[in-house]
Chain A
């Protein structure tokens, strides 16, 4: 029983991490007033880049950073469209969601000779587990805390993004650009520049989110690996009221759902109802959203093109 609880907590943390990175990306971008519905596409590209770079270099941290760079590069297009050419943010995001998987699978087919799956990494080439062998194997704390470093990093980044947004001058600028770009502009803030940085950061975070999936949770990239996590992260961000910690809690809820499916899937007796369990967090989210009506407010200028 105790081990079952530990297993649930452990898998919840494991599956929440990719969502947390991506949701944080959404938080940064939307606080600067750029709606980022393209998180999914950025995440896919990140997942593929991490798995591919990891396979060829054997260096998981370099692969992780490259995933961030890949996410940021495709986010650059989103920024060019939304910030420079005042495009409809949602439409541009939809385009990113076609381009991200398109590019990932196209390159995969060429690099891996016709396969849309990358070759799995060996266990040593995956993201390391800092607390491995600290606790007795399969003990309560081992199951919960023997996580990939990306899991810990995700939670550290929640605090970091919170600090950035609410305790630094730069964060204040991001938020002012998202709330009232014209006022920010009058005060001499480089609205365009801030928006660009925010969108690039959001791409980087989504790329990290993909990497946290492909080189930690599993050990390779495949077409179905990222199927909707970007949208879930987007929902988590809205659910979390566009704030880092709020988004984190929402991601934990969705991570718990995935953990529950894995947990119940391993038990033959109730395997059938795992599908029903899987529905629960989405239903809960809807119910909670009904309850918090009016309190959930997006940054005022979110999605509104800014023209000088």
Chain B
């Protein structure tokens, strides 16, 4: 590609266009692999679509599974904008979940206030956890990739240690915390749906009955609000301008009077808070408790893919998170209905990200198409 080459315009020449082509290629290659393994790819994709939209409950489950992905994706995307690679969303998620689980159970506060307090405290803890990586980079030049990997494991063992402590564990030897107080829950009608009145109402209203079988909660709504907030910060505030300037060219930003070190710390703190809130909402709306982790759960790593699919923008994270959530939740259905391995989803996601990594390849793909088209016209 030379500079002289005429800049082509149009959707398919844009980054979003490349992403769409990458998604298509990912689904196409996933289909070929399914075919080779002896499954009908069209049936498989149909099962996924049906498994996501055919019942209110399915839609709710899909949104619930997309919620943490949107937030960890937003977290990674935000850091990317400042030129930082936050591979530590996983650990920040764990910290946010842990603090939410503890403050949700041990503190006794009125409804609503309890939720707000837990969100603030857990979000701050995760911000500190992420900000630490920023501080280490700004102050000591420690590569954030390595410091966040270390902090992921520290968070992992810290959480497992704390949930096993006497007084915190539900029972001795059972490494699970107690359920959070009802005042801290953000699930919708979660308590009511198990009362006699609730059961009676729901048996008469099949739509709500079905819908509420999923852990419907406010997490998705909060996630969307945070996406809007982050978009606003990045694009409409001085802070956002400075953070993006640092990501664009650190030296130019510094020359322009921007405090680069401060920007790095702030960016990592905000990024950490977002990933932490993914964990917080997961606990307050879905799991209600924190359990011993056998291995990394992957919300943070999935967030990296979400951010990339979303072109590392705030709004893109919603799109990436939903796509990932649909594939992830819908993908569980192909196992039951077709016996096709759910793992095809990771192959599809991996393939999509792989093509997103190389726009140059897609451009070459276009040029082949154009040549063919040209020949046809000549004939």
Contacts and interface: CB of A to CB of B under 8 A. Distances in A.
Contacts, number: 147
B160 A92 contact: no
Interface in B350-369: 350-354, 356-358, 360-361, 364
B85 interface: yes
Contact of A106 (B301, B343, B349, B352): B343
A285 B151 CA distance: 10
Contacts of A272: 161, 164-165
B350 to A, nearest CB: 3
A282 B154 contact: yes
Interface stretch (A95-103, A142-150, A191-199): A95-103
Given A102-B344, A110-B341, A279-B153, A95 B37 contact: no
Nearest to A91: B357
Given A109-B341, A234-B149, A294 B295 contact: no
A105 B150 CA distance: 27
Interface in A255-292: 272-273, 275-276, 278-279, 282-283, 285-286, 289-290
Contact of B354 (A81, A282, A289, A294): A81
B183 interface: no
Contacts of B361: 81, 85, 87
A90 B85 contact: yes
Interface stretch (A163-171, A176-184, A223-231): A223-231
A81 B153 contact: no
Contacts of A279: 153-154, 157-158, 161
Given A86-B358, A275-B164, A286 B347 contact: no
Main secondary structure on chain A at its contact with chain B? Answer: helix
A205 interface: no
Main secondary structure on chain B at its contact with chain A? Answer: helix
A134 interface: no
A276 B157 contact: yes
B66 interface: no
Interface in B20-42: 33, 37
A88 interface: yes
A94 interface: yes
Contacts of A239: 146
B304 interface: yes
B192 to A, nearest CB: 37
Given A99-B347, A102-B346, A106-B343, A85 B360 contact: yes
Interface string A55-96: 000000000000000000000010001000111101110111
Contact of B353 (A86, A98, A224, A231): A98
B24 to A, nearest CB: 16
Contact of A227 (B295, B356, B357): B295
A286 to B, nearest CB: 5
A158 interface: no
B287 interface: no
Interface in B153-198: 153-154, 157-158, 160-161, 164-165
22 contacts: A37-B145, A77-B354, A81-B361, A86-B358, A87-B360, A90-B85, A92-B357, A94-B304, A94-B305, A94-B357, A96-B350, A97-B350, A98-B305, A106-B37, A106-B344, A114-B339, A234-B145, A235-B150, A276-B161, A278-B157, A290-B142, A293-B140
List of 10 A-B pairs having minimum Cβ-Cβ separation, nearest first: A98-B350, A102-B346, A99-B350, A275-B161, A95-B354, A109-B341, A91-B357, A87-B358, A102-B347, A105-B343
Given A97-B301, A272-B165, 13 more contacts: A81-B354, A90-B85, A94-B305, A94-B353, A95-B353, A102-B345, A106-B341, A232-B153, A235-B146, A239-B146, A275-B157, A276-B157, A279-B161
